[in-house]
Amino acid sequence: MDRSLLVGLIFSKKSFLCIGLDTDLTKIPSHLLETEDPIFEFNKAIIDSTHDLCIAYKPNFAFYECYGAQGWKSLTKTIQYINLTYPGQLFSIADAKRGDIGNTSQQYARAMFDPSSSGMEFDAVTVAPYMGEDSVKPFLSYPGKWIIVLALTSNKGAADFQFFQNGDQRLFEQVLSKSQQWGNNENMMYVVGATQAEMLCDIRKIVPDHFLLVPGVGAQGGSLLEVAKYGLTKQCGLIVNSSRNIIYASSGPDFAMKAREEALKMQQEMAAILGFTQTKC
Amino acid sequence: MDRSLLVGLIFSKKSFLCIGLDTDLTKIPSHLLETEDPIFEFNKAIIDSTHDLCIAYKPNFAFYECYGAQGWKSLTKTIQYINLTYPGQLFSIADAKRGDIGNTSQQYARAMFDPSSSGMEFDAVTVAPYMGEDSVKPFLSYPGKWIIVLALTSNKGAADFQFFQNGDQRLFEQVLSKSQQWGNNENMMYVVGATQAEMLCDIRKIVPDHFLLVPGVGAQGGSLLEVAKYGLTKQCGLIVNSSRNIIYASSGPDFAMKAREEALKMQQEMAAILGFTQTKC
pLDDT tens profile A21-63: 999 999 999 999 999 999 999 999 999 999 999 999 999 999 9
User: Distance (Å, rounded) from C-alpha B164 to C-alpha B154?
Assistant: 16
pLDDT tens profile A221-273: 778 999 999 999 999 999 999 999 999 999 999 999 999 999 999 999 999 99
Nearest C-alpha in A relative to B181: A160
Q: Are B237 and B224 in contact (CB under 8 A)?
A: no
Residue B279 has pLDDT above 50, yes or no: no
Render B141-184 in DSSP notation, one character per residue: GSTT-EEEEEEE-SSTTHHHHTT-EETTEEHHHHHHHHHTTT--
Higher-scoring residue by pLDDT: A201, A218: A201
**Three-state DSSP state, A112:** helix
Pairing between β-strand A17-21 and β-strand A238-242 as defined by DSSP bridges: parallel
Nearest C-alpha in B relative to A164: B166
Determine whether the interchain pair A66/B108 forms a contact, defined as Cβ–Cβ distance below 8 Å: yes
Q: What is the DSSP letter of A239?
A: E
Q: Are A224 and A269 in contact (CB under 8 A)?
A: yes
Q: Is the ipTM of this complex over 0.90?
A: yes
Q: Are B85 and B77 in contact (CB under 8 A)?
A: no
Q: Domain ranges in chain A?
A: 3-273
Between B98, B158, B166, which is nearest A164 by CB? B166
Flag the least confident range among A63-67, A190-194, B178-182, B274-278: B274-278
Q: Are B198 and B230 in contact (CB under 8 A)?
A: yes
User: Distance (Å, rounded) from C-alpha B104 to C-alpha B196?
Assistant: 32
Residue B218 has pLDDT above 80, yes or no: no
Active site (annotated) includes residue A97? yes
Task: Decide yes or no: CATH 3.60.15.10 for domain A3-273.
Answer: no
Residue A162 has pLDDT above 90, yes or no: yes
Determine whether the interchain pair A67/B164 forms a contact, defined as Cβ–Cβ distance below 8 Å: no
User: Distance (Å, rounded) from C-alpha B242 to C-alpha B271?
Assistant: 16
Residue B189 has pLDDT above 70, yes or no: yes
Closest approach of A191 to chain B, Cα-based (Å):
11
Q: Around A89, how many Cα atoms within 13 Å sit in the side-chain half-sphere? A: 15
- Interface contact B69, partner A, CB < 8 A: yes
Q: Are A95 and A59 in contact (CB under 8 A)?
A: yes
Determine whether the interchain pair B101/A178 forms a contact, defined as Cβ–Cβ distance below 8 Å: no
Determine whether the interchain pair A62/B98 forms a contact, defined as Cβ–Cβ distance below 8 Å: yes
Nearest C-alpha in B relative to A24: B107
Tell me the mean pLDDT in the region B26-53: 97
pLDDT of residue A276: 86
- Interface contact A233, partner B, CB < 8 A: no
User: Distance (Å, rounded) from C-alpha B258 to C-alpha A145?
Assistant: 40
pLDDT of residue A194: 85
Residue A281 has pLDDT above 70, yes or no: no
For chain B, the farthest-separated pair of C-alpha atoms sits apart, in whole angstroms, at 58
Run of H or E including A96: strand A91-98
- Binned at pLDDT 50, 70 and 90, residue A277 comes out as low
Average pLDDT score, chain A: 95
Q: What is the DSSP letter of A132?
A: -
Residue B82 has pLDDT above 80, yes or no: yes
pTM metric for this prediction: 0.96
- Interface contact A219, partner B, CB < 8 A: no
Residue B204 has pLDDT above 80, yes or no: yes
